């Protein structure tokens, strides 16, 4: 057991002290704080006009040919809490276009009304990629158009309100596992984030293990190690060491993200927590997230160690890991596509396929009210698969670490098993 912990500590601290790991961690932490304050940063940049060439993007110059639309349009914008300010302009259209081209003004609006009380509006800016201001103006003009039409038809404001009154629409499901639409909306964002975390962690740390094994083989360090420690003990100690490091790194990112959002000076905090459902997350969902993350990691890490032991050069690792990569990608596609319909037949079937279970079964746990036996069955399937893969992987690993030369394909597994018997 002492040998196990020696390799465990060596795998953990060697990787934790590498410059790439430290720099990556610091960059992600800095990125989390940057993203949590992104809206306030953008707002301050817009306020000082850094990218606007000195022009005020919140001021729209208006040429009102009707003489009656400017004031009510401003009222509609104010009612929608828009920060746009309309100013009447006496310049000609050509003069205003020249001012936009020279970046003296950001944009201008031309308004008119025909004999049928239909509003015609033309918004002119430097490029057509702008959408925020035109959208706000279009919505305000649509409301103004409704009022004009109502006046021409002698409709009171009460009648107009009745005319546009929304219907009462409720959605119910007869399935016992279905949640309400509100619960699904709250769970969908959280499940999306956690699926992405599980996918990233399993993919990243499994590749890390394979690279570590291949690096030790290419430097001939492996020959020294296995002379005093059994290959099987070396494999599982390395999996546990890198897995612990990965778990601590993800926990750090989670704590940093929580603190960053809570201390953010922008309105993004409440929006993010509300949109992703973090404020209403259930304990059972988080417990299953941890369980499926750990089981998914050990499943793919064992497979990665097995494959990594077959190569002698780090350049060959990615090629041999392609089958495992495809499995992870397919599992993520099924999980993300199941966000819209978690009760689909293919999602249910895939949740019991071991290499898809960590992502797909967690999707169903987070999105549906499943009977407890289903996630427990998924956990049992994963445990059995990990045990079988660990047993098989240890046999391959025992011979694989002694193999040198160019790796041909997965056919080398048979060669590794035969070599491990000697």
The model's pLDDT over 128-146, given as tens digits with 9 standing for 90+, comes to 667 788 888 888 888 888 8
**Least confident range of 28-32, 81-85, 282-286:** 282-286
**Mean pLDDT on 175-186:** 56
pLDDT of 383 > 90? The answer is yes
Q: What is the pLDDT of residue 237?
A: 84
What does pTM read for this prediction? Answer: 0.65
Own/partner pairs for 193-198, CB < 8 Å, 24+ apart?
193/276, 194/289, 194/362, 194/366, 195/332, 195/335, 195/336, 195/359, 195/362, 195/363, 197/250, 197/293, 198/289, 198/292, 198/293, 198/296, 198/358, 198/359, 198/362
CATH superfamily of 55-163: Periplasmic binding protein-like II (3.40.190.10)
Q: What is the pLDDT of residue 59?
A: 84
Q: What is the pLDDT of residue 143?
A: 84
Quote the percentage of the chain above a pLDDT of 70: 73
pLDDT single digits (tens) 193-244? 777 777 777 778 877 887 777 777 666 666 566 666 776 777 788 888 888 8
Distance CA 259, CA 108 (A): 43
pLDDT of 419 > 50? The answer is yes
pLDDT single digits (tens) 313-359? 667 777 777 888 888 889 888 988 888 788 888 999 999 999 999 88
Reference 55, options 103, 94, 98; nearest CA is 103
Distance CA 401, CA 379 (A): 30
Distance CA 31, CA 209 (A): 26
- In eight-state DSSP terms, residue 382 is H
Residue 162 or 299, more confident? 299
Q: What is the mean pLDDT of the chain?
A: 77
Q: What is the pLDDT of residue 268?
A: 45
Q: What is the pLDDT of residue 221?
A: 63
**Least confident range of 283-297, 312-326, 384-398:** 312-326
Q: What is the pLDDT of residue 269?
A: 45
SS3 54: coil
Q: What is the pLDDT of residue 242?
A: 83
Task: Considering only the C-alpha atoms of the chain, give the largest distance between any 2 of them, rounded to a whole number of Å.
Answer: 97
**Mean pLDDT on 2-17:** 82
CB proximity list for 201: less than 8 A, separation 6 or greater? 246, 250, 293, 297
**Mean pLDDT on 89-102:** 87
pLDDT single digits (tens) 37-85? 776 666 666 555 544 545 566 788 888 888 888 888 888 888 888 888 8
The count of other CB atoms within 10 Å of the CB of residue 159 is 12
pLDDT single digits (tens) 96-123? 888 888 888 888 889 888 887 788 888 8
Q: What is the pLDDT of residue 37?
A: 73
Distance CA 104, CA 61 (A): 11
Q: What is the pLDDT of residue 323?
A: 83
Q: Locate the domains of the chain by residue range.
A: 55-163, 180-420
Residue 79 or 270, more confident? 79
- What residues are paired with 112 via a beta bridge? 120
Residue spans of alpha helices (H) in 219-230: 221-225
């Amino acid at each position: 057991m002492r040998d196990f912990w020696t390799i465990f500590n060596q795998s953990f601290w060697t990787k934790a002290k590498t410059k790439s790991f430290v720099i990556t961690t610091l960059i992600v932490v800095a990125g989390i704080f940057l993203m949590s304050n992104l809206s306030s940063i953008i707002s301050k940049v817009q306020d000082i006009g850094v990218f606007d060439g000195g022009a005020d993007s919140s001021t729209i110059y208006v040429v009102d040919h009707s003489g009656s639309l400017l004031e009510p349009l401003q009222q509609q914008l104010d009612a929608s809490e828009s920060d746009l300010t309309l100013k009447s302009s006496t310049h000609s259209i050509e003069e205003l276009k020249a001012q936009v081209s020279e970046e003296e003004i950001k944009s201008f609006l031309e308004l008119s009304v025909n004999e049928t009380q239909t509003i015609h509006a033309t918004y002119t800016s430097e490029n057509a990629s702008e959408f925020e201001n035109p959208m706000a103006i279009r919505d305000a003009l649509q409301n103004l158009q409704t009022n004009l039409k109502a006046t021409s038809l002698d409709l009171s404001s009460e009648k107009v309100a009745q005319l546009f009154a929304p219907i009462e629409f409720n959605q119910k499901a007869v399935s016992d596992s279905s949640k309400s639409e509100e619960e699904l909306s709250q769970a969908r964002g959280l499940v999306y984030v956690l699926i992405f975390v599980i996918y990233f962690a399993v993919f990243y740390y499994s590749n890390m293990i394979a690279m570590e094994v291949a690096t030790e083989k290419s430097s001939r360090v492996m020959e020294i190690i296995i002379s005093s420690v059994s290959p099987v003990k070396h494999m599982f100690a390395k999996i546990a060491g890198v897995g612990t490091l990965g778990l601590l790194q993800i926990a750090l990112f989670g704590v940093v993200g929580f603190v960053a959002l809570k201390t953010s000076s922008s309105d993004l905090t409440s929006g993010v927590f509300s949109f992703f459902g973090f404020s209403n997350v259930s304990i059972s969902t988080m417990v299953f997230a941890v369980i499926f993350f750990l089981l998914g990691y050990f499943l793919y890490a064992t497979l990665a160690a097995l494959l990594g032991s077959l190569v002698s050069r780090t350049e060959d690792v990615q090629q041999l890991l392609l089958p495992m990569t495809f499995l992870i990608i397919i599992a993520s596609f099924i999980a993300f596509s199941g966000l819209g319909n978690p009760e689909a037949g293919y999602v249910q079937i895939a949740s019991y396929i071991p290499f898809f279970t960590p992502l797909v079964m967690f999707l169903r746990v987070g999105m549906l009210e499943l009977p407890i036996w289903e996630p427990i069955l998924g956990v049992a399937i994963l445990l059995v698969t990990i045990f079988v893969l660990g047993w098989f992987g240890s046999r391959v690993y025992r011979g694989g670490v002694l193999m040198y030369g160019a790796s041909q394909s997965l056919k080398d597994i048979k060669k590794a098993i035969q070599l491990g018997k000697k």
